[in-house]
């Protein structure tokens, strides 16, 4: 029996969640209905755009560009600083709501997930079921989503990227030729700018061109990735929806897909620090310490590699974790453009008896106390109450 798989994707997630929270707190202006964006420091015009409203996009404001350039395009642009703790809470609220429909839910990112509804009541009419879920998310949680429907995960994800926002689209295997093949090759999952340029050099401009091309020629040029995208262009995907959750007790992770290519380690360090602060705080809130730190990198062609380090003694200290993450990054990064960074803490323990190494930093205890003070400030007054200077040092 064919599976029925939904891909749920929040529309302009950070901006939507920020707008909903502000409206709940009494503000009259809906950020989604004016030129607005999430990111950086609006006074200093430092930082980058993480999400933009539809009206801001009409000015040419793009995710990943600097606030400096965004203000040049759109002088009336209203900027809201990011609040990742808030966004995580909205993400979890959506995930918990969706499990009412099926336990087969796979979190793909903070604003995306797959849901296998094959055995869900109402699955005999998937489109109507998807409309019900989409509308229920809006009515209960206040934000809109796109839902892609298919019998394959890759096709469901492609379908959710069709016309936005607040839409439901289908892309079943028998619809590939009519709905997916005419699209530009850059629209295919895992095809970045570099890959697009290479494919165009051999005459591949649409997804259909790739699907009907010579596989050997594509593999010779793009190696394993070439075979992967060739399979995707033909809708070949046997992967199943694998239930997971951010709060898997075996480990706690945080990652981000970056809207632009990072080509220098100092910018990568800033992103790693932001990820580390988030994941370390979650570790302390749950009263765990970790013994294993792993850094994951994906380059602009989506080649993934990881590097990890087993610790002599467990820790929940942000500085300790960050310094190790930087070392792991330096040892593994091969200098190519980066599109994704992640950090995962595992081998967790809540044993209060911490093993002390004779080589431990003597300032660890002071740093740990400082971490807990900062956690308290952020919990009570918001994530932006205090920010490390290194996170403010974005170039225009």
User: pLDDT (tens digit, 9 = 90+) per residue, 334-391?
Assistant: 888 888 889 999 888 775 544 444 344 445 555 666 665 566 554 444 444 344 544 4
SS3 content of the chain, % helix, strand, coil (to 5): 45, 20, 35
Strands (DSSP E) found in the chain: 5-10, 36-38, 51-52, 78-80, 105-109, 112-116, 145-150, 168-170, 251-262, 289-299, 304-315, 338-349
pLDDT of residue 267: 86
For residue 285, the 8-state DSSP code is H
Provide the token pair at 217. 């020629």
State pLDDT tens for residues 290-328: 889 999 998 876 677 889 888 877 888 898 999 999 999
Q: Whole-angstrom Cα distance, residue 62 to residue 56?
A: 8
Q: Is residue 67 scored above 60 in pLDDT?
A: yes
Domains of the chain (ranges, CATH numbers) = 5-9+87-233 (3.30.70.270), 13-83 (3.40.1170.60), 251-392 (3.30.1490.100)
pLDDT of residue 373: 58
Mean of the per-residue pLDDT values of the chain: 84
Predicted structure pTM score:
0.66
Q: Is residue 277 scored above 50 in pLDDT?
A: yes
Active site residue 112: yes
- Among 153-162, 197-206, 212-221, 279-288, where is mean pLDDT lowest? 279-288
Catalytic member of 112, 227, 331, 364: 112
State pLDDT tens for residues 128-149: 999 999 999 999 999 999 999 9
Q: Is residue 15 scored above 50 in pLDDT?
A: yes
CA-CA-CA-CA torsion for 229, 230, 235, 236, nearest 10 degrees? -90
């Amino acid at each position: 029996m064919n599976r029925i798989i939904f891909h749920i994707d929040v529309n302009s997630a950070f901006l939507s969640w920020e707008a909903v929270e502000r409206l709940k707190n009494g503000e009259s202006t809906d950020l989604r209905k004016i030129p607005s964006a999430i990111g950086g420091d609006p006074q200093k015009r430092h930082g980058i755009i993480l999400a933009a409203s539809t009206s801001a996009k009409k000015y040419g404001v793009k995710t990943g560009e600097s606030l400096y350039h965004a203000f040049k395009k759109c002088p009336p642009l209203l900027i809201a600083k990011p609040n990742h703790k808030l966004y995580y809470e909205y993400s979890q609220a959506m995930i918990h709501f969706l499990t009412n429909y099926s336990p087969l839910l796979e979190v793909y990112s903070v604003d995306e997930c797959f849901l296998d509804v094959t055995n869900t009541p109402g699955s005999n009419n998937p489109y109507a079921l998807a409309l019900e879920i989409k509308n229920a998310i809006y009515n209960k949680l206040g934000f809109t989503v796109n839902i892609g429907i298919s019998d394959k995960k890759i096709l469901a994800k492609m379908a959710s990227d069709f016309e936005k926002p607040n839409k439901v689209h289908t892309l079943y295997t028998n619809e590939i030729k009519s709905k997916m093949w005419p699209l530009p090759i850059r629209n295919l999952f895992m095809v970045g700018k570099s890959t697009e340029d290479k494919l165009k050099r051999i005459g591949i401009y649409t997804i259909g061109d790739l699907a009907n091309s010579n596989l050997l020629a594509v593999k010779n040029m793009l190696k394993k990735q070439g075979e992967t995208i060739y399979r995707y262009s033909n809708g070949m995907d046997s992967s199943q929806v694998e239930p997971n959750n951010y709060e898997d007790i075996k480990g706690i992770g945080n990652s981000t897909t970056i809207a632009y290519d990072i080509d220098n380690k100092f910018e990568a360090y800033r992103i790693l620090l932001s990820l580390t602060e988030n994941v370390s705080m979650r570790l302390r809130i749950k009263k765990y310490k970790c013994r294993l730190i792993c850094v994951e990198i994906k380059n602009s062609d989506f080649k993934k590699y990881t590097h990890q380090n087993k610790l002599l003694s467990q820790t929940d200290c942000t500085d300790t974790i960050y310094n190790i993450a930087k070392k792991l990054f330096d040892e593994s990064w091969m200098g190519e453009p980066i599109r994704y960074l992640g950090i995962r803490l595992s081998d967790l323990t809540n044993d209060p008896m911490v093993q002390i190494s004779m080589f431990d930093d003597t300032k660890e205890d002071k740093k740990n106390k400082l971490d807990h003070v900062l956690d308290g400030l952020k919990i009570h007054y918001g994530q932006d109450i205090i920010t490390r200077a290194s996170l403010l040092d974005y170039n225009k």
